[in-house]
């Protein structure tokens, strides 16, 4: 499973890069606006630095669903870096935009997917990634992970090249469940990826080992 970081915060991205756990980044207008307010930087500069740090797919979302304007935005975003992938929502207009971008060899991340039907359409137009928002489905009492199961099964049935990019992850168990279902990618908030390594028995084990070693320290050689 590949790990994308769901953030526009360059400090978080650099830290996870140092850990060797990042294959890409997903941003959206909300995440970018937070970083703009935090740093005062222009969005193009933020995305450029992210691309230079990660050297992997970096999703940037168009802010218009008017066909010509969205395509124009996408082409401008692609000037930032070859790593930029364009996010387009899974609506009829968004799918039409995605299809045009694919024709222009611009990679697309079809976002805001909440049904298997939307996922099928994303694959049919040739999106590179399709992003089911599992946490938001869980929030309204639906089983978000069931959508991941449906997408993985359908894509495998027909040999679609589109990768399932599990999004709206709330906690580490979401990642485990997505991995068990065979999802290719999870895009993970910084605080969740930190939690993945934590376990009270690991902490107890380290404390025990350190205590025992303290009694004989210096005895390696």
Residue 2 to residue 179: CA distance in whole angstroms: 10
* Core vs surface per residue 86-107: b (16+ CB within 10 A) or e: bbbbbeeebbbbbbbbbeeebb
∠106-108-111 over CA atoms, to 5°? 160
Catalytic residue among 15, 48, 76, 87: 87
| Biggest alpha carbon–alpha carbon distance for the chain | 72
Strands (E), the chain: 2-6, 24-26, 58-61, 84-89, 108-113, 129-132, 163-166, 185-188
Is residue 217 annotated as part of the catalytic site, yes or no? no
Active site residues: 87
């Amino acid at each position: 499973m590949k790990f994308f970081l769901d953030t526009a915060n360059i400090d978080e991205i650099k830290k996870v890069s140092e850990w060797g756990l990042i294959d890409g980044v997903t941003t959206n207008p909300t995440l970018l606006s937070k970083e703009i307010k935090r740093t005062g930087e222009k969005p193009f500069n933020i995305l450029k630095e992210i691309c230079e740090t990660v050297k992997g797919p970096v999703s940037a979302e168009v802010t218009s669903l008017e066909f010509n304007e969205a395509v124009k935005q996408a082409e401008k975003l692609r000037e930032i870096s070859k790593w930029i992938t364009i996010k387009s929502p899974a609506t009829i207009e968004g799918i039409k935009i995605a299809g045009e971008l694919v024709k222009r060899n611009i990679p697309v991340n079809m976002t805001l997917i909440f049904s298997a039907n939307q996922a099928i359409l994303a694959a049919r137009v040739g999106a590179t990634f399709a992003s089911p928002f599992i946490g938001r489905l869980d929030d309204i009492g639906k089983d978000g992970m069931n959508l991941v199961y449906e997408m993985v099964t359908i894509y495998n049935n027909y040999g679609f090249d589109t990768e399932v990019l599990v999004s709206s992850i709330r906690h580490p168990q979401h990642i485990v469940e997505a991995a068990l279902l065979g999802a290719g990618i999870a895009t993970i908030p910084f605080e969740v990826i930190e939690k993945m390594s934590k376990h009270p028995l690991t902490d107890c084990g380290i404390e025990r080992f350190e205590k025992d070693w303290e009694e004989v320290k210096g005895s390696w050689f």
